[in-house]
Amino acid sequence: MAKRKLTQAELLRGVNKLSEYPAVLLPVHDGGFSVVFPNFAKLTAFGSKRETALQAAQEELSAHLQGLVAAGEEPPKPSDPARLIPDEDEPLGTELVSVKPDRKAILKRLGLGKDKDKGLALAHLGRLGK
């Protein structure tokens, strides 16, 4: 059975309900940083520097959550960072961080941003369209 298309109001409500999620920032032995999300088993990001890894994590999280919202699915509730247990084999310098989805970018890619006419083109250009 095909799912019905969500209204703009439903999409907007879904985006506005999005929360920040805990993530684990791990230094990589060859250099750079990897970011993993306890709430999303297959969602990862990488950056050569801490800042670029966190930016990539925000972009990945935003894209993933956008897909869930667009499909009408409820994202999982973020884990309580205080209840996350570190792995024994985590490298020195591992850090628990919080990553906020970029609501403005999600709205723009869903065609709900202020720049509605350019929303589709910007979605395909990714970072170049910003």
> Would you state the structure tokens that stand for residue 28, as one six-digit string?
């990589």
Alpha helices by DSSP H, the chain: 8-16, 50-70, 103-109, 119-125
How far is residue 41's CA from residue 85's CA, in Å, rounded to a whole number? 15
**34-58 pLDDT, tens per residue?**
999 999 999 999 999 999 999 999 9
> Which amino acid appears at position 76 of this protein?
P
Residue whose C-alpha is closest to residue 30's, from 89, 99, 86, 91 = 91
The structural domains of the chain, with segments of one domain joined by +, span: 8-129
**91-126 pLDDT, tens per residue?**
999 999 999 999 999 999 999 976 544 444 444 444
CATH 3.30.160.250 fits 8-129, yes or no: yes
* pTM for this prediction: 0.82
Describe the crossing of helices 50-70 and 8-16 by its angle, rounded to 10 degrees: 140
